[in-house]
A and B are shown apart, each in its own frame.
Chain A
């Protein structure tokens, strides 16, 4: 029996499936009628234990005259209880595909049944003009508020990638509508347009009753760069990996690996073992680097600058490690289709093992010291609670979901590259709060160190790169996945003609975490707002202002980046005092 056959049979009992396509073996695409779409996704999501990983709208009018939607589900079990998990051999990807006729671009909304699809369906309208009928939140998500109506950038016939619609004067710009809670009065505290922890754009609006946040809303994507459009129009496969790296400043390597692996899987290309091991090493170096950054920032936001400095001192070692492995202080510019560009020497491996030891001992030391600090723990515990059910409904990823007790990791559920031969744990915590997430990160750091060490010890010989002899197959598509520091990255590639990509869908880890952030804000104080956003480890360039609103007096105040950070660190001089 093939992988996932029994899952498909269960879907077949209730819904007519017109086509089953496998490429590769553990990635199954089933085609259903568009009216059956919400039910099919619901069965796979809640009844059979799937998680919504991505949704790809595609303009296939040149191929079959229709628009298509691909709902990518990762079948790994609900994981609400320990025995609620699918056995390792049966874990697979199931993609629900549906055709939407070009003359009637509407489809029934899946969000009503599976809340995780909300951002994806809002994006499908922005980019392709595909309307989800019954979508509870049909506001714009990706394109700016002054974007002309009826111009959908990712349609093949809409516009040149060099074209930009004329900018609107700032005074004429339409205001973004925020969702407001009902109440006697609302105090509106805008936080932004710069973000409090990482100085990146994003507009948050916090609705407060006194000091307590009762609801939150946000407007992001001020930095949407249209990379997918750019890749479709002018990039070849040589350049695409390097473009994918530029998605994010920290987890860029994970993006390029996912992107290149999607392209490789679609044509069935196997890369040499040595390259596989080195890809895993680089991904884990990135995790060391990113987790140390986040733990450091979580200390700094609560005013513990001393610990922040120590953690950043250790972080410097991870950059030195990257320098030894790839030749740059970041792990960039290394991946090509068919393997890796750069090999390591024995001397470099020896030096790397030495640095790994320093990272391990010093991280343990600093973490022990932070754990001794009672004030620090007080600020972290019970803050920003991500409920188990909310995490399940919104398909959260990364340390965010592992801090809520789900053992959900791409390395464990869908192992890629060299990871099948390695021995490692996936640490989880049941606290659901900031403290649990930071603990998960700390434990993962130690796991990463052990993974890198194992890879160096087992390092297979041979080449690091093969020339891809297989030609690009037009219309072949596949999913590429990997575990970035923030969670699972999914890239979906459909090959086109002439060494170009027909459609590239890049889904960064933070994209899945944002919709559930609203629920994490509720019930916390304004002082913790910065910390909650920080514990999510947000990545603005992947996705990205804050308004605080008082529900009693109906007043609002815009807090600057400095104000909120100062209040979070000192807990003195309440920003809403003199309203």
Chain B
């Protein structure tokens, strides 16, 4: 089991103390975080910290994901790598720069992504509506991935799949939740707000996993480098969003663990409120620890490990040309 993440909601100060991380909250509480037993640190509150605190995160390879006002994702502080592998980055750039190799990796990612969307729709087919047409359509789109000849064509297949996929959300989600259509920046209603928040968590999970390899997070294959975020994380996140974000949102809404009151309207947008964010995060962290049997590894692995092994597989593919097994739901 990988180490757990830690989330700080309190406002206050982070500092380095006796070789570990000290949290002094504005409410007057002091806590010590066991720095060697934390995977990634998430800041949701208003926190002051200095370079000594960052140095500690550096020494222990702990990425810091910072969320700002209303928990909008602000960015990540990635510890500098102890051992840089120039060779890995060179091969990654070569793979990106070779249209055939890039397309092959992109196809694996999108195939897995569509496969995982289809898995969700098939699960809810008959439970929350009749979706057999969409299941078939997604299967066709998945099949057509291998016939795409360039990245733009691949991206349009992915876009079509995502559109079909999102069209089912209104039926899957228990009333009064409706998606209508996927809108972000800012999200326009509760369902969009939930998806955006969870997608952010999937994205940061991927950033942390990529950090454990020597791969460069800024060089993606489906997404163009130059988009503002880490494009490799966006690529890997596309594989896992149906598994880790959408499926969880469906569950939380349909079991009424999350209600419309856990959101608040903002200037032309909608966001989870603090209570809602806590509910979602607790469930998300718990889900990362859930385990499934892994046929290739012949043992039980957690969802968090699954993200990690996906990135290892991509890394190995880039360096050895052995097949990349993008994670396609088998369970």
- Same complex for A and B? Answer no
B interface with A by C-beta (< 8 Å): none
A interface with B by C-beta (< 8 Å): none
